[in-house]
Structure 1
């Protein structure tokens, strides 16, 4: 008789952390461990802006699953449907075929996709910062705009190519704008025909404050630091329409540009809608033990789950942060093992340890354990936190070496061209188009 199968969907912080713990907790005869993911690596998402800016190589933050997980069977593909009554998940393989994987216990840790908000043109023309491919593509695109501007004879085209917009004043958008503005400011000096004064960077957000997650004082410090670098910041403003060569803002301005980076929030993976249980703003509602009511044997964690935040109390749910995802992965591993062994589960409880925002150029704002820091001390905390949070010694070594080399030698501002000619829209990069027709409603093959 084969052991019960634990099927994990998603190789993010929560899914990989759970499997890592289960490998150490359960004997092989207690459970078969299977992971479904389109990629064979765990992405350290907080450092994506460093990849886009050239501070890190892509491999530095792509942690090999085979190095981290020794007993788990990796099944390449994208989960597109869950049938909790028949206990199987429909998976689209890299070749485009569908297969059904059975499970005894299912962990949904599928993460999130970029929230598009239905604004005209964003789906077709905006660039994202959610995947490794998007970060690499964005770097190539930005350097490509400098190349094209340097040979442009039309002043209007030149202005379009040298104006860059980032939408979203949270953690991801602020770091992306700060990192890429430093990249272009350094790169433009290698282009004899370009004047650094021609560069134009804009950060736009509908919220009244920058970085509201980190507190008013530190958000204001970050605002002053970015404006001192020449980044124009427009708060209380969003995008009304985007075209290939301009963006119309809700305050009436129309800015000619060829580059808009969209980081205006995330939405739970569309896979959650196929489970057919209660959702809260697209996230699966769970108990404090991360079990999904009405779906026996199903757990959900991370960005895909509305897990009660016992530290805050009331109706609060944990925010979609890497910190909570990683700790929920550890906690749900205990509860999955408890279910298999017939022991009591534990509710998830974690008090937020604070946020770190690396703005580059020896400046950051950080709030470790509620203590507000700015400048170089904050950047030391931010980078020290990332080094400690990276899951393997190899990843830490690669990141540290990359940072050191960049500080010592600078950047060559090379456009790799790896993504040239490939689709570049947000839904295509994030596989969102797979959740249209078919999926859970299609007739899948017999479960494996």
Structure 2
């Protein structure tokens, strides 16, 4: 008796790209056409652009973590873990589950959307003393840490300790760094009113970046407007400057300044997931080189997209242009790659990905924002309405939309209670504790793992 098996579609990553791909596959394929499996450590999609508002307490962590199991059409099998290697020849993905068990997951079609990790450099003390802003845990932890600095400064009688606890440094003048500095500065500005022993003038925020301008993608005018908003709030902006070294109680800038601080937040860009390095395939600045159809050349059934793939940007009409690692592109690539997987499954032609940017939005907290929808420059309340409207509409479920809108309204009316939730333990957790970059295998280790499992069976 012959047993007919359905094609196995394996999606790696539950970010914007991976989740949009899975949702499209569930809608377009019948249960008899293919089995769909998703590899992710967490059964939720994180709405990453709103993390600074989680860190500042405007939004609760749950409101930006959208459950993958709420959909009535949901039929995807989830493997709770992270992909740590892929053997393209054997068509096997090696997964480390959340219980540290290593399993081999075979596939017929694989969609690689593992996203990115924080980009770091060989700066002394950086990974030991800096915080990142890439995960939900980091955002929640940073909020606790910042409030704890106010608590500890208020309890201290040592002027030097107070000074170091009330200075905060954010590295990275892109969207993540600018919004993080803006939102957290508003948090400390409001919170210090509840600490009568603290001088508000001691609280200082520094935003630094090696580039000559903040958020150059916005253009000179809007970038300058954002800079003026931050400086008006008292945030010290230093451009053309980075970190020379980091310590537990001070940070040294490349211009020689030494800033006493217990808070260094690193948001200086991202790089593709280390999973891409396990494939032994061609890359473009660390991102997997793929065709305009998001296929890996010379490997049938392998697709890649999002932050981890260098998808040609055909809308720009420039040779070598690739799509930027934004949520806007990732969501559309997810739906498009699902269509191409279905086309490959049904023996139909695949289509190239083409999408023109709709614009950029930057929420600076309160009534401050700068936005550029469809090339139109906006500032203040109109920009804020566009920014929050875009984020609200991009949330995937009605429950998430309701939670976020309720949080925004409640924060606008009642403010914040500045409550620490207990993440700040005796042993602090820093950048190196959240990234898990040492979990991935080399191509040789992947091959040995796959061959060893084959020999045992």
TM-score by length of 1: 0.98
Matches of 1:183 and 1:439 in 2, distance apart? 46
The match for 1:440 among 443, 446, 449 is 446
Matched, 1:181 2:185: yes
The match for 2:56 among 53, 56, 61 is 53
Deviating runs (4+, > 3 A) in structure 1?
436-439, 444-448
Matches of 2:446 and 2:128 in 1, distance apart? 26
**Who is 2:401 aligned against?**
396
Is the 1:365–1:373 Cα contact (8 Å) retained in structure 2? Answer: yes
Matched, 1:38 2:41: yes
**Who is 1:14 aligned against?**
17
After superposition, the Cα gap between the structure-2 partners of 1:439 and 1:358, relative to the gap in structure 1 and judged at 3 Å, is farther
Matched, 1:91 2:87: no
Q: Which runs of 5+ in 2 are unaligned?
A: none
Matches of 1:280 and 1:402 in 2, distance apart? 40
Matches of 1:304 and 1:297 in 2, distance apart? 17
Find the residue that maps to 2:70 and give its secondary structure.
Answer: helix
**Who is 1:3 aligned against?**
6
Matched, 1:321 2:326: yes
Matches of 1:422 and 1:61 in 2, distance apart? 27
Matches of 1:222 and 1:242 in 2, distance apart? 27
Matched, 1:361 2:361: no
After superposition, the Cα gap between the structure-2 partners of 1:405 and 1:439, relative to the gap in structure 1 and judged at 3 Å, is farther
Find the residue that maps to 1:370 and give its secondary structure.
Answer: coil
Is the 1:162–1:200 Cα contact (8 Å) retained in structure 2? Answer: yes
1:252-401 aligned at under 5 Å gives the runs: 252-313=256-317, 314-401=319-406
After superposition, the Cα gap between the structure-2 partners of 1:422 and 1:87, relative to the gap in structure 1 and judged at 3 Å, is farther
**Who is 1:232 aligned against?**
236
**Who is 1:247 aligned against?**
251
How far the C-alpha of 1:99 sits from its partner, in A, is 0.3
Deviation track 1:18-45 (CA, whole Å, cap 9, x = no partner) reads 0100101011111100000011100000
**Who is 1:106 aligned against?**
110
The match for 1:221 among 222, 225, 248 is 225
Is the 2:91–2:106 Cα contact (8 Å) retained in structure 1? Answer: yes
The match for 2:86 among 75, 78, 82 is 82
Is the 1:131–1:430 Cα contact (8 Å) retained in structure 2? Answer: no
Is the 2:278–2:441 Cα contact (8 Å) retained in structure 1? Answer: no
Higher mean alpha-carbon deviation, 61-70 vs 135-144, is at 61-70
How far the C-alpha of 1:439 sits from its partner, in A, is 5.4
Is the 1:84–1:296 Cα contact (8 Å) retained in structure 2? Answer: no
How far the C-alpha of 1:295 sits from its partner, in A, is 2.4
**Who is 1:170 aligned against?**
174
Higher mean alpha-carbon deviation, 397-406 vs 116-125, is at 116-125
Deviation track 1:225-264 (CA, whole Å, cap 9, x = no partner) reads 1000000000010111001111111111111100000000
Find the residue that maps to 2:382 and give its secondary structure.
Answer: helix
The match for 2:29 among 26, 30, 37 is 26
Aligned-residue Cα RMSD (Å) equals 1.4
How many residue pairs match? The answer is 448
Find the residue that maps to 1:14 and give its secondary structure.
Answer: helix
How far the C-alpha of 1:195 sits from its partner, in A, is 1.5
After superposition, the Cα gap between the structure-2 partners of 1:220 and 1:146, relative to the gap in structure 1 and judged at 3 Å, is same
Q: Which runs of 5+ in 1 are unaligned?
A: none
How far the C-alpha of 1:440 sits from its partner, in A, is 2.0
Matches of 2:425 and 2:15 in 1, distance apart? 27
Is the 1:80–1:439 Cα contact (8 Å) retained in structure 2? Answer: no
Is the 2:85–2:441 Cα contact (8 Å) retained in structure 1? Answer: no
